[in-house]
């Protein structure tokens, strides 16, 4: 469920297909997100999951899996 919400947020910001947005996908290398895209994605994820993502955590996200792990730990 968490992965699917994150995948949908990423897909809504990009023209990427569902098959490209995997747990192992690199946000920068595979999905082509730059720092501005990541900042906007962070804001959207904060709204969707009703959490706060500190800047130091946001810049530490390298893969979709990193975001999923953060959200699992933040929404307990």
Count CB-CB contacts under 10 A for residue 67.
27
Site of tokens 């959490």: 51
Asked if 66 is an active-site residue, the reply is: no
Catalytic residue among 8, 29, 34, 37: 34
Answer left, alpha or beta for residue 33, where phi above 0 means left and psi between -120 and 50 means alpha: beta
Catalytic residue annotation:
34
């Amino acid at each position: 469920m968490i992965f699917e919400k994150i995948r949908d947020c990423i897909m809504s910001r990009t023209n990427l297909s569902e098959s490209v947005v995997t747990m192992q996908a690199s946000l920068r290398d595979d999905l082509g997100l730059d720092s501005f895209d990541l900042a906007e994605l962070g804001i959207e994820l904060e709204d969707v999951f009703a959490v706060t993502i500190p800047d130091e955590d946001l810049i530490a996200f390298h893969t979709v899996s990193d975001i999923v792990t953060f959200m699992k730990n933040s929404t307990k």
